[in-house]
Amino acid sequence: MKLTDILSENRVKIPLANTEKEKIIEEMVEVVADSIKLENKAEILKAVLDREAVMSTGVGDEVAIPHGKSESLHEIIAALGITKDPIDFNSLDDKPVRLVWLLIGPQDKTGPHLKALSRISRLMHKKEFRERLIQTTAAKEAIEVINSEEKKYFES
């Protein structure tokens, strides 16, 4: 599974409008809801916020990966938001976040969900890639940067 298989231009938001963790998560769920005509957005938001309450998904290196599962979804979906300025996300490394990946999927797709989380995490460990992504100003450009990096990293 490539990230570009589960992420599309209409699920990339640059810059995110909000500056608070919970509001950013709400904004990201709204981005997904708008892109797929999500019927139960409140359920998705609750699942992601419940997961966030267990432990912050601010994984470090300016990256957060809020995620959750819902019975109302049939496939794994990713969204990406890039903040204008660094945002406090209660990250594990106590540093602010610029890249917010939202990953949501069905309850019964744990394997693919974990694969997608792993793929995001592996790509985000590369500082040069993170910096290129943060510098993007349009969704199409962000998708191109991700696609290029996936080809280099996973297909070589």
> What confidence tier does 111 reach under pLDDT thresholds 50, 70, 90?
confident
Just give the CATH number of 3-154: 3.40.930.10
147 vs 150: CA distance, rounded Å: 5
Which ranges of the chain does DSSP label H, i.e. alpha helix? 3-6, 21-36, 41-54, 110-124, 127-135, 139-154
CA angle 84, 29, 8 (to 5 degrees): 75
pLDDT at residue 155 in the model: 65
Task: List, in order, residues 6 or more apart from 94 with CB less than 8 Å away.
Answer: none
How would DSSP label each residue in 79-116? EEEEEEEEE----TTS--EEEEEEEEE-TT-HHHHHHH
* pLDDT tens digits, 86-108: 999 999 999 999 999 999 999 88
How many degrees, rounded to 5, is the angle at CA 122 between CA 92 and CA 4?
115
Q: For 12-69, what is each residue's pLDDT tens digit?
A: 999 999 999 999 999 999 999 999 888 789 999 999 999 999 999 999 999 999 999 9
Query: What is the structure's pLDDT at 128?
Result: 95
Q: What is the pLDDT of residue 108?
A: 87
Kindly report whether the peptide bond that precedes residue 106 is cis, defined as omega within 30 degrees of 0: no
Rg of the chain's alpha carbons, rounded to an integer?
14
Domain borders along the chain are 3-154
Question: Token pair 């793929």 is at which residue?
Answer: 119
